[in-house]
Amino acid sequence: MRFALGFRAKRSLGRPQTGPALHLSVTAVSVKKTLITGGSRSRGPLVAWPAVHFAVPFPDFCPYMSVGSFASGVDSKRQRALPVPRANAHMKTFTPDSSIASDVIPSANYGDRPRGRQVDMIVLHYTGMPDVESAVARLCSPGTDVSAHYIVLEDGRIVQCVPEAKRAWHAGVSFWAGEEDVNSCSIGVEIVNSGHDWGYPDFPLRQIAAVIALCRGIMLRLKIPSRRVLAHSDVAPSRKKDPGEKFPWHSLANSGVGHWVQPAPIMHGETLKLGTISGNVESFQQALARYGYGVPVSGRYDSATMEVVTAFQRHFRPARVDGIADQSTLATLHSLLASLPGDGKAAAG
């Protein structure tokens, strides 16, 4: 029996146990960030997790079996099996890169990365569809031209769809810190959530725990800096909102995933907004570009600038998302830049 993350585990009381079916109870404990990668273990410092009880499914314990399942266990009624798109039923599967991915549903939509291209970014998405079945079908079926390396379900299960060595089609037209081909240098993670068009529910704690564990493993394997864990809306601000202002980036950062500072408080004061033309706007645009955003540096607060500011607020100042650069937005951006290592350029690997 192995634990991919060094969780403190105990058998559930009051129910018989058979085989390897253990139920993990996590309750405000420190979790060792112990990730099994390629048969070896990489250990990190202790991380405090939320004071909640939830069952976290791991490959050795997940009671759900499907195409490419790497689970072993019993009690199959506890979790609903994911539908495999008919066109994918006979596709060749592969061994998942992550030790906490319980299943593989291979996607038909991917390509090769450019030779010698290093992966140095993780892009987080929400699926933005009414149910998980629709999301899996869209991400895996031939002809949709979209995919992701991983899908993280609401119950914490992780499904891999594209090998990390391959180029998934998840970011679309995008930009970050001078990079215009984000798909070629990134890992795409789709988080099951219906999104803004379908009610935008909160992200369950067990799902966030799984996202953290998955990202930590990817970062360790591929040596991805924490500041290069980004939102889809960061790299495509004119098109995308995901994973949105409800996504708990602060919780990820507390576990070493993503860049974060405490947002400056919202207060009355001078603002920069649509139509403003000034040297202050130009300085603000330069600061956004220095952090990594694709924004025109013109001194004019145009619609493109407003879209970037909206994306910035969704990620880093979610209490108010209005596209107006108030004092809180400006101060939060400067704090982020000041906390970057080196010369403060996000482009640095």
Which are the catalytic amino acids?
Answer: 190
Q: Give all strands (DSSP E) within 99-198, no chain letters.
A: 103-104, 110-112, 121-126, 150-152, 158-160, 166-168, 186-191
- Supply the DSSP string of 251-317, one letter for each residue: HHHHTT-S---PPPPP-S---B-TT-BSHHHHHHHHHHHHHT-----SSB--HHHHHHHHHHHHHH-
Rounded Cα distance, 88 and 77, in Å = 24
Residue 149: name the closest of 224, 199, 204, 200 by CA: 224
CB atoms near residue 166 (< 10 Å): 14
First-to-last alpha carbon distance for the chain, in angstroms, is 37
Phi/psi for 73 (5° steps) reads 170, -170
Is 118 in a helix, a strand, or coil? coil
Cis peptide before 243 (omega within 30 of 0): yes
